[in-house]
Amino acid sequence: MTATRRGNAAAFMFVLALGSSHASAASVDNPHPRPGTAQSGDLGAGEIRRDRPFEGVVLAASQLALESGSDETSFHFAHLRDLWVRVWLARTTDPVQLNLRLIDPQGTLIYEASVPYASAPTINATNVLVFKAKTLGGWVALDYALPVSGSVVTRHLSEGAWTLEAEAGGRTFSTSIDVTTGY
């Protein structure tokens, strides 16, 4: 095995270990669960059940973190490729439109997207790509990778509390994002 392959294998194992420890650390000792999680009376104090979501927005730095149940609130936008957004809905129409708005600490709209989702995605008659709405445990999950690196977001970087607003299925959600830039 070459030194490069050994280095790549070691880096992969390190990232895998970090992701595993972060996912398990994020699931306990939080007396105030964020949207996308639910507490159960059967669990110990502060433990969160990730198998029973409730309506809201969950954020992660990667698709793997999102799929692992990570629920992050702080991000380093100068080093982030995409901000992964999951909007949980108890029920919705099929198809459903997801509208996202990213607002910087000064109140300026930096990014806006409007994306259609359906349980059986296709390209519709107007050549608009329809994304897949995931059904997880009876809930609907709308996943979106909001581009950060190389996008309009990096041209307007500022540290502080950003806001992500999401509208879907007639409901509106808002979550705060603690952004650092390193500048």
Percentage of the chain lying above the pLDDT 90 cut: 45
Least confident window among 13-17, 25-29, 52-56, 134-138: 25-29
CA dist list (Å): 171 to 9, 60, 92, 146, 147:
44, 21, 10, 20, 23
- Counting Cα atoms < 13 Å in the Cβ hemisphere of 48 gives 22
Place of tokens 């409007």: 114
The answer, yes or no, to whether the previous bond of 95 is cis (omega within 30 of 0) is: yes
pLDDT at 15 over 60: no
Q: How many helices (H) and strands (E) would you count in the chain?
A: 3, 10
Q: Could you give phi then psi for residue 141, rounded to 5 degrees? A: -115, 125
Global pTM? 0.69
Alpha-carbon span 119 to 33, nearest angstrom: 28
Alpha-carbon span 51 to 33, nearest angstrom: 13
What would the pLDDT profile of 138-149 be if each residue is shown by its tens digit? Answer: 889 999 999 999
Alpha-carbon span 26 to 98, nearest angstrom: 27
- Domain 52-180 of CATH type 3.30.70.640: no
Task: Tell me the domain boundaries of the chain.
Answer: 52-180
